[in-house]
Structure 1
Amino acid sequence: MVNCVVRNWNGEEVGQATLELKVAKEENAAHVVHRALVRQQANARQGTASTKTRAEVRGGGRKPWRQKGTGRARAGSIRSPLWRGGGVIFGPKPRDYDTKMNRKERRLALRTAFFSRAEDMIVVEEFADKLPRPKTKELVEAIARWGVEPNSKVLLILAEREENVYLSARNVAKMKIIPATQLNVFDLLAADKIVTTPSALVKIQEVYSE
């Protein structure tokens, strides 16, 4: 169980929030999270890189010169991999990089990664009503009041998409906003600070408890 201080829009402490999730054992935690991270990054690859072999490169059907008597090295094709404009040896071909991981293990890794960032988590009261219209400046000032240093990578987790919050946050260079139901290991580990709300914590507890 983790106890977090809840702050209001002005950065003042106004209460406590708790979070309790089943996580991996300490000796296995790093391995499980690493597997999930590698899987996520591998599955994001397009796998469309492609090169042509000597059989696929255009030309080279005719022997460039006779086998003997010229004083030059023997050559059978101008599209040999040794020649400029020739084929590529063992080059990349389109392939599928998808890596499988059991659903229970994926969720365990996600809970473990989230739990490991407890010290960098900032819980704030619902603040959508503080932004009656999109205003990036006001959101940036509020984040500073909550204790986030300038130029820090911030992951903002909300229970559900709030349009004005989203429009205010999308123009901040190092801020990413995601709903509580779409957590992923990479974003959790990449952020310097994680900002969330009590309702988002409740949603996380409901969705990822098992």
Structure 2
Amino acid sequence: MFECVVKNWQGEQVGQKTFELKVAKEESASHIVHRALMRQMSNARQGNASTKTRSEVRGGGRKPWRQKGTGRARAGSIRSPLWRGGGVIFGPKPRDFSIQMNRKERRLALRTAFASRIDDMIIVEDFGSQLQRPKTKELVNAIARWGAEPDKRVLLIYCENNQNLYLSARNIANVKVFSANTINIYDILHAEKIIVTASAIDKIQEVFGA
């Protein structure tokens, strides 16, 4: 059971929010969170680095010079890896870096990581009605009133799709905005402050609950 103070748009404390998330046991929590983090980072790799072997490089079909009598070293192709412009020995080829992990484990890791950031979490009331139009300055001021410094990495989690919020936040360098059902473990751990709306907490319990 977790309990947090809820703040309004002006940054004043207006109540308490209690929520419950099933997390991993203490002895295995760091292990499962690390696995989920490594999975996300590995799955983000494109794996499309590619080099050509001597058989794939264009040209080099004719022997450059005869085998004996020139005084030079033997050479069979100008596309040998020893030559400039030749093939690459043991170079990278396209590969799949993705790692598999059970859905139950992924959700457990996400809940555990989210709960571990409770000390850096700020719960606020839904403020969709406060942003009648996209206004970056108003959102920056609100974030400061809530207790997050403008130069810190901030993760802002909301419940419903809010275009004005997205447009207001996209030009702030250190602020990332996610809906409650699209949060990920990397951004939860990377952020220095996490601002969550009260309805987003309920949505996280609903989507990622045990």
Same-fold call, TM > 0.5?
A: yes
AA of the residue aligned to 2:174: K
Say whether the 8 Å CA contact 2:43–2:98 is kept in structure 1: yes
Residue in 1 that maps onto 2:192: 192
| Residues in 2 aligned to 1:163 and 1:59: alpha-carbon distance in whole angstroms | 55
Matching residue of 1:126: 126
Fraction of identical pairs, as percent:
71
1:124-203 equivalences in 2 (<5 Å): 124-203=124-203
Q: CA deviation at 1:49?
A: 1.6
> What does the per-residue CA deviation read over 1:90-111, in whole Å, with 9 as the maximum and x for residues that have no partner?
1111222221111111111111
Q: Does 1:109 align with 2:103?
A: no
Which amino acid in 2 is paired with 1:161?
A: N
Return the alpha-carbon distance in structure 1 between the equivalents of residues 47 and 21 of structure 2: 35
- Are 2:89 and 1:100 equivalent residues in the alignment? no
Question: Where has structure 1 moved over 4 Å in runs of 4 or more?
Answer: none
Distance in 1, matches of 2:150 and 2:167, equals 20
Note the aligned Cα RMSD (angstroms): 1.1
Count of aligned residue pairs for this structure pair: 210
User: TM-score, normalized by length of structure 2?
Assistant: 0.96
CA deviations on 1:110-145 (whole Å, 9 max, x unpaired) are 111111111111111111111111111001001001
How far the C-alpha of 1:68 sits from its partner, in A, is 2.3
Structure 2's unaligned 5+ residue stretches are none
Rounded to whole Å, the distance in 2 between the matches of 1:14 and 1:174 is 27
| Cα offsets for 1:2-45 (capped at 9, x unmatched) | 21111111111111112211111112111111111111111122
TM-score by length of 1: 0.96
What are the ranges of 5 or more consecutive residues in structure 1 without an aligned counterpart? Answer: none
